[in-house]
């Protein structure tokens, strides 16, 4: 049948059910929206120049807009408000925090706080002993009978990096926090010139001898040693101060970043919070937050801690000092790789145990949670996320997003959060529809507790645009889109109300071959991990992950530590309180013996394990009885007697009750392991699936390039399927059928970019059906005169305009229209079509940027795009109908006005509104919109109505 398909966000919200003969009035129920379901936001306190009156006003605005909570992050200040600055953690600052907590209780808003003023962890109370460190080396060459003539010394050169006003090191004193004008200079990294303490001096001969000379160096660096016969290379290791400062720090928060590899440094840092919070009831503070690692976005890298040699020997079983040439790739390749692996693994262990777990234990003992952004760390970030109550991710790649959600899933944590819509576009250009698109990606990636990036505290009466943060979508009441912001928040809350229920329902665990990455040398000693792009680019795990994602397999990443906690349950792989059907191991060179043995043990107890291309080759590292580990590793491999399966490219070995596969074709092995993909992906759909008491929830997004108006298979058997549209809030029971392959199919109507939620049930349910519609006939244009009234906004309110031809309001002749950012009401009348019993599809055509539609005094919808369509019920129609459309544009045109008229709104310390794109930089290097042309704004159309008819999918 040739049909004209309904092509709007309306599509997925109106479904009819052919499966039910008699429709009932009851509709499937939405979960009750809670504080936790709602989106939260990062809330920057610039200069912490806050007062109780404006704190209350802002929290009330957030509550009315539908936010669920805030995360307080104090940052750099605003020029001209220095007298209002509150030093971080001062009694005055803590009182402001207490007021926020009290108001949060009153308004049912949750409150978290960043555990630094800026990021990473650090502050003025972090002394040299607890600050981040690096290791520096010098080499010396001696022949037999020679003495070293030069002193064994390393003088650290001066380094000053500022974001603000520059200053020479000679004008600074230690500690850095004791210097004036810290906000003005905005220090990013400072190293004072000084002699560095010697950590070790080792001598290596051409005959393979190693001598520790550390004790033979006196206080002046003179080595009292004569080289024996042979050629000797001396390695001197010195400990330096990395100098990384807290980034974007506010008053009272400026200081060195901590040594994340030192338990003492972490404990001392946290102890300061105990001292400052003593006597204050902060029990309603939900969580402390860390905004990513970000120590090494500076010169050099933090790669050392005073006890490193001791920690290394304890963990790896040998003395690293005996292998310094290998650490610096000066030995044979195999030894170089193994020592580098052991070094990186030790750093990973220390970051996990001495920082993340220590911080978690501290917070837990104070009945608080931690939210942690682990990405960017020189460690297995899956383990760092797993040691966190609420793992948090950021980014725009779904595979990167899945690192945080995988750790949450695998370890049984109910929430995974996201720093969402970070600098989504150039300043002032982000639309609510753009943000919705970003939010959908996080939801698909397993995030179910989003944080916007973000909102600024701003005094109510501060001149427009108020206080802003340099790298953000500006979620502020001064942004015109604030009027429609609640619609986006309600959408996210509706989606998260399902995605916080039940348990993850993924079929595949994908092993992260971290030791292959540890063994791969780079430009520096450490490798920093950030999804698959950093550390695994070109690795087999990237190939496997993309293959699984593109073909519709649901999966989570898993680390070695997490594999040790797996068990077999009825041939499934159990972790925490969920199960998977199989585990896939990408082509891996190095794998710990314990991991390899555990995988085979899982198979022996009934699980299915898949090795892509081959089994692993060898154990990693040099220490802990390497040869014995290698022998045991080979023994494990011998337990796997692979034989053909009759399927090309697939071999298997029966081990105990289970099976181990080796394959060149992952799809074939997954099929053999009874893993079926969700084939809806071939129709341009993306999904995430959860399970709750026998029911399955699907969040489905039409991310393809065409509308969906067809049967869509789901990978779960269902006798009935409830459908929910989180944007329109409509619900009902969907049309379902059984395909020839006995697969459940659901009829979906989804516009491009539209989403829906399915809830499957094993039992039939008689309830109100979703109504499916299609257009009937051709679109009828709404012609005639439009009256345009500018309601709220600025810099001035233009006079009323009348037009018969819709176009951007910037083309109107009224004074001030080109500069106007705000909301305008478009009003007109239209006649009812000749089919009075039909609902109508109202299509607004092109809209810049959001629209609220009112017909005959009744509000129908708020539309965020990309399609701007809504259904008008037949019973609302009259012979002559009044149509009002409230259009809101962005901040951009008003900012253009400010910049062209040289109005100074860029008044921030530290990072004072840099452009995201170089072409938008002024002569001072700051963002400017002075060269922009006014952006199209308003209702551009064409506006049409089209009769609708109900259909029964068959």
Mean pLDDT of 7-32: 51
Q: What is the 3-state secondary structure (H, E, C) of 234-270?
A: EEEEEEEECCEECECCCCCCCCEEECCCCHHHHHHHH
Phi, psi dihedrals of residue 933, rounded to the nearest 5°: -90, 150
Spell out the residues 6+ positions from residue 888 whose beta carbon is closer than 8 angstroms to its own. 480, 481, 483, 484, 822, 823, 849, 850, 851, 852
Give the residue ranges of DSSP H helices in 500-623. Answer: 514-518, 540-551, 560-563, 593-604
Tell me the sheet residues that pair with 134. 240
Q: Is residue 311 within a helix (H) or strand (E), and if so which, with residue range?
A: helix 308-316
Q: Are 91 and 48 in contact (CB under 8 A)?
A: no
Q: What CA–CA distance (Å, rounded) separates 527 from 536?
A: 10
Spell out the residues 6+ positions from residue 149 whose beta carbon is closer than 8 angstroms to its own. none
Q: What CA–CA distance (Å, rounded) separates 243 from 188?
A: 8
Q: Are 74 and 114 in contact (CB under 8 A)?
A: yes
Look at the block and give the residue holding tokens 């059906």.
Answer: 769
- Is 24 a residue whose pLDDT tops 80? no
Burial of 684 (0-12, 13-18, 19+ CB in 10 A): middle
- Is 919 a residue whose pLDDT tops 60? yes
pLDDT of residue 735: 97
Q: What CA–CA distance (Å, rounded) separates 164 from 184?
A: 6
Pairing of strands 133-143, 231-241: antiparallel
Q: Are 374 and 355 in contact (CB under 8 A)?
A: no
Q: What are the CA-CA distances from residue 782 to residues 200, 242, 806, 897 (Å)?
A: 83, 67, 11, 33
Look at the block and give the residue holding tokens 């990973």.
Answer: 348
Tokens of 209: 């001898």
Residue pLDDT, tens place only, 294-304: 999 899 999 99
Q: Are 631 and 603 in contact (CB under 8 A)?
A: no
Torsional class of 713: left (φ above 0), alpha (ψ -120 to 50), beta (otherwise): beta
Q: Are 879 and 922 in contact (CB under 8 A)?
A: no
Q: Are 922 and 930 in contact (CB under 8 A)?
A: yes
Look at the block and give the residue holding tokens 């490798």.
Answer: 527
pLDDT of residue 25: 56
Mean pLDDT of 743-769: 95
Distance of alpha carbon 619 from the chain centroid: 33
pLDDT of residue 836: 72
Residue pLDDT, tens place only, 183-204: 999 999 999 999 999 999 999 9
Q: Are 518 and 370 in contact (CB under 8 A)?
A: no
Residue pLDDT, tens place only, 131-186: 999 999 999 999 999 999 999 999 999 999 999 999 999 999 999 999 999 999 99
Tokens of 106: 């009153």
Q: What CA–CA distance (Å, rounded) separates 726 from 721?
A: 16
Q: Could you tell me the pTM of the whole model?
A: 0.95
Q: What CA–CA distance (Å, rounded) separates 272 from 262?
A: 16
| Per-residue confidence band for 18, with pLDDT thresholds at 50, 70 and 90 | very low
Mean pLDDT of 761-784: 93
pLDDT of residue 475: 96
Q: Are 15 and 771 in contact (CB under 8 A)?
A: yes
Q: Are 449 and 496 in contact (CB under 8 A)?
A: yes
Q: Would you give the end-to-end CA distance of the chain in angstroms?
A: 11
Q: What CA–CA distance (Å, rounded) separates 227 from 141?
A: 10
pLDDT of residue 4: 35
Q: What CA–CA distance (Å, rounded) separates 546 from 202?
A: 46
What is the secondary structure of 594-635 as a DSSP string? HHHHHHHHHHHTT-EEEEESS---B--SSTTTHHHHHHHHHH
Q: What CA–CA distance (Å, rounded) separates 652 from 632?
A: 21
- Is 923 a residue whose pLDDT tops 90? yes
- Is 851 a residue whose pLDDT tops 50? yes
Lowest mean pLDDT among 22-26, 562-566, 599-603: 22-26
Average pLDDT, the chain: 95
In this structure, the dihedral spanned by the alpha carbons of residues 866, 489, 917 and 868, taken in order and rounded to 10 degrees, is: 10
| Per-residue confidence band for 847, with pLDDT thresholds at 50, 70 and 90 | very high
Q: What are the CA-CA distances from residue 390 to residues 288, 289, 407, 411 (Å)?
A: 10, 9, 10, 11
Spell out the residues 6+ positions from residue 582 whose beta carbon is closer than 8 angstroms to its own. 507, 508, 509, 573, 607, 608, 609, 610, 670, 673, 675
- Is 58 a residue whose pLDDT tops 80? yes
Tokens of 587: 């082509």
Q: Are 762 and 718 in contact (CB under 8 A)?
A: yes
| Per-residue confidence band for 14, with pLDDT thresholds at 50, 70 and 90 | very low
Tell me the sheet residues that pair with 455. 43
Look at the block and give the residue holding tokens 């600098």.
Answer: 423
What is the chain's percent helix, strand, coil content, to nearest 5?
25, 30, 45
Q: What CA–CA distance (Å, rounded) separates 385 from 356?
A: 9
For residue 77, count other CB atoms closer than 10 A to its CB: 25
Q: Is residue 138 within a helix (H) or strand (E), and if so which, with residue range?
A: strand 133-143
Q: What are the CA-CA distances from residue 595 to residues 101, 512, 674, 795 (Å)?
A: 46, 11, 24, 64
Burial of 274 (0-12, 13-18, 19+ CB in 10 A): exposed
Q: To 5 degrees, how large is the angle CA 127–CA 129–CA 133?
A: 105
Q: What CA–CA distance (Å, rounded) separates 222 from 673?
A: 66
| Per-residue confidence band for 6, with pLDDT thresholds at 50, 70 and 90 | very low
Phi, psi dihedrals of residue 362, rounded to the nearest 5°: -60, -50
Q: What CA–CA distance (Å, rounded) separates 853 from 870?
A: 8
Q: 675 preceded by cis ω (within 30°)?
A: no
Rg of the chain over Cα atoms, rounded to whole angstroms, equals 31
Distance of alpha carbon 869 from the chain centroid: 31
Closest CA to 530 of 381, 407, 392, 422: 381
Q: Where are the beta strands (DSSP E) in 192-267?
A: 194-195, 198-205, 210-212, 231-241, 256-257
Q: Are 713 and 739 in contact (CB under 8 A)?
A: yes
| Per-residue confidence band for 108, with pLDDT thresholds at 50, 70 and 90 | very high
Q: Are 405 and 584 in contact (CB under 8 A)?
A: no
Spell out the residues 6+ positions from residue 733 whose beta carbon is closer than 8 angstroms to its own. 17, 19, 20, 28, 720, 721, 722, 723, 765, 767, 768, 769, 770
Tokens of 461: 């009466």
Mean pLDDT of 556-577: 97
Mean pLDDT of 675-679: 97
Mean pLDDT of 666-674: 98
Q: Are 647 and 662 in contact (CB under 8 A)?
A: no
């Amino acid at each position: 049948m040739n049909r004209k398909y309904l092509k709007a966000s309306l599509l997925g919200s109106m479904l009819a059910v052919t499966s039910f003969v008699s429709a009932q009035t009851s509709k499937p129920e939405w979960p009750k929206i809670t504080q936790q379901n709602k989106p939260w936001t990062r809330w920057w306190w610039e200069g912490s120049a806050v007062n109780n009156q404006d704190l209350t006003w802002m929290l009330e605005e957030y509550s009315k807009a539908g936010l669920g909570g805030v995360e307080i992050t104090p940052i750099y200040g605003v020029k001209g408000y220095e007298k209002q600055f509150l030093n971080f953690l001062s009694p005055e600052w803590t009182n402001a925090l207490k007021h926020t907590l009290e108001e949060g209780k009153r308004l049912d808003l949750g409150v978290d706080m960043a555990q630094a003023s800026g990021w990473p962890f650090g502050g003025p109370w972090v002394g040299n002993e607890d600050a981040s460190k690096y290791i520096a080396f010098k080499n010396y060459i001696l022949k037999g009978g020679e003495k070293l003539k030069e002193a064994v010394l390393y003088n650290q050169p001066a380094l000053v990096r500022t974001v603000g006003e520059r200053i020479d090191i000679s004008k600074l004193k230690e500690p850095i926090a004791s210097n004036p004008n810290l906000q003005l200079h905005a220090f990013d990294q400072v190293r004072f010139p000084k002699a560095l303490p010697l950590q070790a001096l080792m001598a290596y001969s051409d005959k393979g001898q190693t001598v520790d000379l550390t004790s033979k160096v006196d206080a002046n660096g003179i080595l009292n040693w004569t080289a024996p016969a042979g050629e000797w290379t001396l390695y001197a290791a010195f400990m330096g101060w990395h100098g990384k400062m807290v980034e974007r720090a506010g008053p009272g928060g400026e200081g060195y970043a901590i040594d994340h590899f030192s338990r003492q440094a972490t404990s001392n840092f946290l102890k300061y919070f105990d001292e400052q919070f003593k006597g204050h009831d902060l029990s309603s503070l939900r969580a402390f937050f860390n905004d990513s690692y970000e120590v090494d976005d500076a010169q050099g890298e933090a790669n050392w801690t005073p006890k490193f040699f001791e920690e290394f020997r304890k963990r790896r079983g040998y003395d690293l000092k005996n292998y310094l040439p290998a650490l610096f790739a000066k030995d044979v390749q195999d030894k170089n790789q193994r020592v580098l692996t052991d070094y990186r693994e030790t750093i990973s262990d220390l970051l996990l145990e001495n920082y993340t777990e220590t911080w978690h234990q501290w917070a837990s003992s104070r009945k608080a949670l931690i939210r942690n952004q682990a990405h960017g760390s020189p460690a297995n970030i899956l383990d760092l996320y797993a040691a966190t109550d609420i793992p948090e991710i950021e980014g725009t790649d779904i595979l990167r997003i899945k690192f945080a959600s995988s750790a949450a899933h695998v370890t049984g944590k109910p929430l995974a959060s996201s720093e969402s819509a970070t600098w989504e576009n150039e300043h002032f250009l982000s639309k609510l529809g753009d943000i919705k698109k970003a939010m959908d990606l996080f939801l698909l990636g397993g995030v179910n507790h989003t944080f916007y990036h973000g909102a600024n505290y701003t005094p109510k009466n501060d001149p427009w645009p108020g206080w802003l943060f340099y790298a953000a979508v500006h979620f502020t009441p001064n942004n015109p889109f604030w009027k429609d912001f609640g619609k986006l928040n309600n959408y996210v809350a509706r989606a998260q109300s399902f995605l916080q229920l039940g348990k993850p329902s993924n079929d595949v665990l994908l092993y992260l071959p971290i030791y292959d990455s540890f063994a791969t040398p780079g430009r520096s000693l450490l490798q920093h991990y950030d999804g698959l792009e950093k550390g695994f680019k070109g690795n087999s795990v990237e190939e496997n992950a993309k293959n699984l994602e593109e073909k519709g397999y649901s999966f989570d990443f898993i680390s070695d530590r997490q594999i040790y906690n797996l068990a077999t349950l009825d041939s499934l792989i159990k972790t925490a309180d969920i199960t998977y059907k199989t585990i896939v191991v990408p082509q891996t060179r190095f794998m710990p013996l314990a991991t390899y043995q555990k995988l085979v043990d899982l198979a022996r107890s009934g699980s299915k394990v898949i090795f892509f291309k081959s089994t692993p080759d060898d154990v990693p590292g040099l220490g802990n009885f390497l040869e014995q580990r290698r022998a045991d590793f080979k023994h494990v491999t011998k337990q796997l007697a692979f034989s053909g399966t009759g399927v090309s490219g697939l071999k298997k070995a029966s081990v105990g009750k289970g099976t181990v596969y080796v394959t060149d074709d992952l799809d074939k092995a997954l099929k053999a392991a009874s893993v079926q993909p969700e084939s809806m992906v071939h129709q341009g759909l993306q999904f995430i699936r959860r399970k709750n008491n026998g029911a399955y929830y699907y969040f489905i997004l039409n991310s393809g390039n065409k509308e969906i108006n067809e049967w869509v298979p789901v990978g779960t058997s269902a006798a009935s399927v409830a459908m929910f549209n989180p944007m329109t809030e409509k619900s009902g029971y969907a049309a379902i059928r059984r395909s020839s392959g006995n697969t459940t199919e659901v009829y979906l109507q989804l516009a491009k970019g539209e989403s829906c939620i399915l809830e499957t049930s094993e039992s039939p349910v008689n309830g109100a059906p979703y109504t499916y519609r299609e257009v009937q006939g051709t679109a009828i244009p709404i012609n005639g005169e439009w009256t345009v009234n500018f309601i709220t906004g600025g810099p001035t309110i233009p006079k009323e305009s009348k037009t018969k031809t819709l176009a951007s309001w910037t083309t109107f002749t009224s004074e001030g229209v080109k500069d106007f950012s705000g909301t305008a009401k478009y009003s007109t009348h239209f006649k009812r079509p000749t089919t009075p019993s039909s609902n109508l599809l109202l299509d607004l055509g092109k809209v810049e940027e959001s629209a609220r539609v009112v017909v005959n005094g009744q509000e129908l919808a708020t539309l965020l795009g990309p399609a701007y369509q809504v259904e008008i019920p037949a019973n609302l129609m009259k012979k002559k109908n009044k149509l009002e459309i409230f259009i809101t544009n962005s901040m951009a045109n008003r900012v253009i006005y400010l910049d062209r008229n040289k109005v100074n709104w860029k008044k921030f310390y530290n990072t004072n509104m840099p452009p995201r794109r170089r072409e938008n930089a002024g002569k001072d290097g700051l963002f400017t919109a002075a060269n922009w042309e006014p952006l199209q704004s308003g209702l551009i159309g064409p506006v049409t109505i089209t009769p609708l008819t109900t259909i029964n999918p068959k």
